[in-house]
Amino acid sequence: MALKVLVVDDTILFRKVISEAAAAIPGVEVVGTAANGRIALTRIRSLKPDILTLDMEMPDMNGLELLEAIRRESLEVGAILVSCLTLQGGDLTMKGFDLGAFDFITKPDCGSAQENMLAIKDALTPRFKAFLAQKERKRPAPAAAPRPFAPASTVPRPAWAGLAPSAPSAGSASSAGSASSTTATTSTTSTTATSSTASTTSPPSPPSPTSTPSATARPFPPAQPAAAAAPATSARPQRIDAVAIGISTGGPKALTDMMPSLPASLGVPVFIVQHMPPIFTASLADTLNSRCGLLVKEAKHDEKVLPDTVYIAPGGRQMKVALAADGSKLIRITDDPPENNCRPSVDYLFRSIAQIYPGRATGVIMTGMGSDGATGIRLMKRGGAHIIAQDEASCVVFGMPKAAIATGVVDVVASLETIAKEIVKSL
């Protein structure tokens, strides 16, 4: 079934360009257009699109007002914001995420109409794919066909029966992450190689032997453990001196939900790479700073690293931590090439964290497309770092956390609600 898209923009040119871009994506049907939010609201009711491309600055009813109306009426439609690369555009986008927007793209500001169309198509394609994956995860699984009840003596003994609920080894971290996500639990799952203590969370409820799990209930196959996973250890010999977070699609909303739960007296610096373009990261920092006990700022080149401060990598630049001549730690902002097609890149930051804070850092991989950060956490784990990944059930896109779990070095798979608690516990 095609993904139905409604294009909402007040300019004829962008309605045409975005419509052509969306229609050129396989599996996408553009069901209509609207010149403002008021017209869009009427067409959402009648055309029932799956998702909007939504201009934020429009007359009569702007993008924010439309999102508020959608929320009031409980209309089931997603939204990808189409924002101008300006400070005002960044601020509006942050507010749009608060109102439930799925993701955003920026309007191209140069090139021919054909070049702009291709740029928009390239930006929309992975976001539509991610939206469909999220929609599929949320779809209720069909009930298993009823089977006659077998006599007790013939019911096969389930494979999980008799297993002690002890903590799994580090090599099975990825399997634990998959189990955590597919049972949609909000508890966290720890993986420990050297400890024989039981897990602090209850094991998932075993499946009923009289029902067959649906094939659609698990959108991704279980991640396979790495062949030579670094050992996870619950009793680290060194204290944690830094927290590093990598996040992408769905990140602004996830961060605004999670970061305020961190105490103002955390005692260590926090470094964040959120995949965003220039200007938008400044708006994100301002939004988080207004809601958090910690000081949150967009990082600047050569500034000294301080505890209880959150440093967000500037959009379009790379961020790393370096040592000054006196042994203090500094932020370095560079124009080094993109990694994993990302600038800022999670791997770029995590590589420096592994070097400057060997075994004394907590790495966190949260919602996002792709696999940025998977290499970085391996480097961090070699020194004994503590690694946390967000679970599938609470991710907007289970890409980066899935890739991280598949490395076999993740210590804890946690829901969005419990990530802050896990960070504090690791210190």
Mean pLDDT confidence for 14-41: 96
* Count of CB atoms situated within 10 Å of the CB of 72: 8
Q: Which of 221-230, 244-253, 270-279 is the least confident region? A: 221-230
Show the domains of the chain with their CATH numbers.
3-138 (3.40.50.2300), 170-194+219-426 (3.40.50.180)
Residue 146 has pLDDT above 80, yes or no: no
Q: What is the band of 144 on the pLDDT scale with cuts at 50, 70, 90?
A: low
CA–CA–CA angle 8, 33, 13 (5° rounding): 75
Given this model, what pLDDT does residue 143 score? Answer: 61
Task: Say if CB 360 and CB 242 are below 8 A apart.
Answer: yes
Q: What is the band of 79 on the pLDDT scale with cuts at 50, 70, 90?
A: very high
Calpha distance 136→127 (Å, rounded): 14
The model's pLDDT over 164-175, given as tens digits with 9 standing for 90+, comes to: 443 443 343 334
Residue 368 has pLDDT above 60, yes or no: yes
Q: What is the band of 289 on the pLDDT scale with cuts at 50, 70, 90?
A: very high
Q: What is the band of 135 on the pLDDT scale with cuts at 50, 70, 90?
A: confident
Choosing from 248, 283, 371, 426, the catalytic residue is: 248
Given this model, what pLDDT does residue 198 score? Answer: 37
Mean pLDDT confidence for 238-244: 92
Instruction: Give bridge partners of residue 247 from the DSSP assignment.
Output: 274
| pLDDT, averaged across the chain | 83
Calpha distance 41→95 (Å, rounded): 19
Q: Which of 59, 373, 60, 64 is nearest to 246 (CA)?
A: 373
Residue 309 has pLDDT above 90, yes or no: yes
Given this model, what pLDDT does residue 89 score? Answer: 85
Residue 219 has pLDDT above 70, yes or no: no
* Count of CB atoms situated within 10 Å of the CB of 343: 22
Q: Which of 12, 63, 74 is nearest to 40 (CA)?
A: 63
Residue 214 has pLDDT above 90, yes or no: no
**Dihedral of CA 314/324/375/385: which sign?**
negative
Given this model, what pLDDT does residue 141 score? Answer: 63
Residue 221 has pLDDT above 90, yes or no: no
Calpha distance 310→346 (Å, rounded): 15
User: Has 175 been annotated as catalytic?
Assistant: no
Given this model, what pLDDT does residue 179 score? Answer: 38
Residue 107 has pLDDT above 80, yes or no: yes
Q: What is the band of 412 on the pLDDT scale with cuts at 50, 70, 90?
A: very high
Q: Which has more pLDDT, 157 or 246?
A: 246
Mean pLDDT confidence for 402-415: 97
User: Has 248 been annotated as catalytic?
Assistant: yes
Mean pLDDT confidence for 18-28: 96
Mean pLDDT confidence for 240-256: 95
Mean pLDDT confidence for 324-341: 96
Mean pLDDT confidence for 290-311: 97
User: Has 345 been annotated as catalytic?
Assistant: no
Choosing from 10, 91, 103, 372, the catalytic residue is: 372
Given this model, what pLDDT does residue 164 score? Answer: 41
Q: Which of 343, 137, 291 is nearest to 220 (CA)?
A: 137
Q: Which of 257, 258, 205, 220 is nearest to 388 (CA)?
A: 258
Residue 234 has pLDDT above 60, yes or no: no
Choosing from 181, 275, 391, 411, the catalytic residue is: 275
